[in-house]
Amino acid sequence: MNIWIKSILAICITTSLFGQEYLVRFNTDKEDVKKSFFSRQGGKFELVSKEGNLYKWTTNNRGVEGVWDSSVNYISKNRKLHLFQNPSIVENRAALLDALQKSGDEKRPPAYPDNPEIKAPSIQASGLDPLLKSSWGMFSIDATNAHNKTPQGKGIVVAVTDSGVDYNHVDLVNNMWRNKGEIPNNGIDDDKNGYIDDVVGWDFHSDDNKPYDLSMDLMDILLQGGNPGHGTHVSGVIAASLNNGSGTAGVAPQAKIMALRFIGEKGEGSTDAAIKAIDYAADNGAHIINASWGGEAGEEEDQPLKEAIKRAEDKGVLFVVAAGNGRLDQMSGKSQGFDIDNDPKPVVPAAFNLPNMIGVAALDSSDQLAEFSNWGKNSIKLGAPGVKIMSTVPGDRYQDTVVDLGSIKATWDGTSMATPFVVGSLAVIWSQDLTQTAQDVKERLLKIVANTSAVSGKVATDGRLDLHQVK
């Protein structure tokens, strides 16, 4: 964002001085006890979650695992979380790079400015959405039936925890959540929630009030797994406007998107920032959290992240998460292959399998399990469209193809794209009766899946997302 260069410099300086980041959960609320621990251990401490009694500790102490204190519940590494690797790019990277270099477009900049002022909702044109016919996933789940028989998600707030959102996109601007307790641009925390001028959400990666979806150039997208507009694409699947004569439409075109950016333009974020985003969503009125991201923690559990999702559950919030597209070796950054069973080889947070969670696998246009999609009979509940998905991207644009170099292409594929189909479906069902509990809505959705042999024995319901039975 506007301060992203400063943020990176600050991180570099902090890392050089102290080195490693950990999350410390205390078992006491006594401030003097915590301050005593801070003083004894040294380094830098930052509050992550007051309710969770959790702090980020940046230190050069390499023996942290051996630190014991009666006031501490646990000390955990502050793990990295990331956008899942796009299988189309992973499988064709060499050919894409070669074609990109020959085209001379390798440093083509994004087609939009960073961190624009937040526009107010506006009166829009009417008419059919010209790209809706290209949105095969919408027809696959019979979203039209839900559009005709429900309030289309009206009254439901969806928190998109991701790389940010183009909050001024013509198909999203009217469907952004607006913080009614905040007066825009007055420099005051009017609603006293700890965030100044958080009108449409917050940027936890750069710590500002413009959670914009900053992208990278094509070369960085291919080489570094950089952000191609991921959060905006996810948001369009959920709640792009219907019949405004532009682009496509979302599953729940009357739902509101709360933009919570914790993943940076390089496609990576941290557990502490994800926790802040989850807590913000649960504390500021979100009904559903979309989590199209994760990390591979081996046999370890990311306990602080799990506890944040549990806090959201306690406040009646659903957490819908991508199963993942294979696994990455966290040391080398190289793919360990696709089509992974999440139950024995967990990808977090999908493998947590808490009561408020719904894990989502990806299907192709033939209703087959996508060849890259992770699955899990216990942790993953159903499949949804996740190959060549048409949706919004920053700059009033639309894509089903991330990179188009003529002879070779990389499409918008992934369990990240499947997850928002489920989120939008939950929103339309919930909007039928706002007094329903989160568990009521989850159970209703899972009861109407369409059975398919493609995921039989691989997801809990043996089925795929289907809104045909919505009444």
* pLDDT tens per residue, range 436-469: 999 999 999 999 999 999 999 999 999 999 999 9
| Residues 235, 257 contacting (CB under 8 angstroms) | yes
Task: Determine how many CB atoms are found less than 10 A away from the CB of residue 232.
Answer: 32
Q: What is the CA radius of gyration of the chain?
A: 21
Among 205, 230, 233, 287, the active-site one is 230
Which one is predicted more confidently, 326 or 115? Answer: 115
Residue range 164-186: mean pLDDT, rounded:
97
Say what percent of the chain tops pLDDT 70. Answer: 90
Mean pLDDT across the chain: 90
Check residue 6 and give its pLDDT.
36
Check residue 114 and give its pLDDT.
82
Residue range 209-230: mean pLDDT, rounded:
86
4-78: CATH number: 3.30.70
Which one is predicted more confidently, 338 or 13? Answer: 338
82-464: which CATH topology?
Rossmann fold (3.40.50)
pLDDT(7) > 60: no
Check residue 336 and give its pLDDT.
53
Domain boundaries, the chain: 4-78, 82-464
Residue range 201-217: mean pLDDT, rounded:
94
- The dihedral through the CA atoms of 229, 233, 234, 235 has a sign that is positive
Give exposure, 261-290, as e/b (b: 16+ Cβ within 10 Å).
bbbbbbbbbbbbbbbbbbbbbbebbbbbbb
pLDDT(14) > 80: no
* 8-17, 323-332, 343-352 — most confident range: 343-352
* pLDDT tens per residue, range 116-140: 999 999 999 999 999 999 999 999 9
Among 49, 76, 162, 431, the active-site one is 162
* Residue 407 banded pLDDT, cuts 50, 70, 90: confident
pLDDT(415) > 50: yes
For residue 88, what are the CA distances in angstroms to 84, 95, 179, 372, 403? Answer: 12, 11, 38, 9, 10
Quote the Cα angle for 7-347-437, to 5°.
90
* Residue 107 banded pLDDT, cuts 50, 70, 90: low
* Residue 328 banded pLDDT, cuts 50, 70, 90: low
* pLDDT tens per residue, range 30-86: 999 999 999 999 999 999 999 999 999 999 877 776 687 899 999 999 999 999 988
Check residue 246 and give its pLDDT.
96
Instruction: Write out the DSSP string of 284-346.
Output: TT-SEEEE--BEE-TT---HHHHHHHHHHHHTT-EEEEE--SS-B-TTT--B--S--BTTTS-
Check residue 221 and give its pLDDT.
83
* Residue 301 banded pLDDT, cuts 50, 70, 90: confident
Residue range 184-198: mean pLDDT, rounded:
97
162 catalytic residue (yes or no): yes
pLDDT(352) > 80: yes
Residue range 303-320: mean pLDDT, rounded:
98
404 catalytic residue (yes or no): no
* pLDDT tens per residue, range 96-106: 888 888 877 65
Check residue 326 and give its pLDDT.
81
Which one is predicted more confidently, 256 or 114? Answer: 256
Among 206, 292, 416, 425, the active-site one is 416
* pLDDT tens per residue, range 446-455: 999 999 999 9
Check residue 111 and give its pLDDT.
55
Residue range 230-238: mean pLDDT, rounded:
98
- Whether cis (ω within 30° of 0) applies to the bond prior to 211 is no
The pTM assigned to this predicted structure is: 0.93
pLDDT(406) > 50: yes
Check residue 387 and give its pLDDT.
97
456 catalytic residue (yes or no): no
Residue range 81-98: mean pLDDT, rounded:
88
pLDDT(4) > 50: no
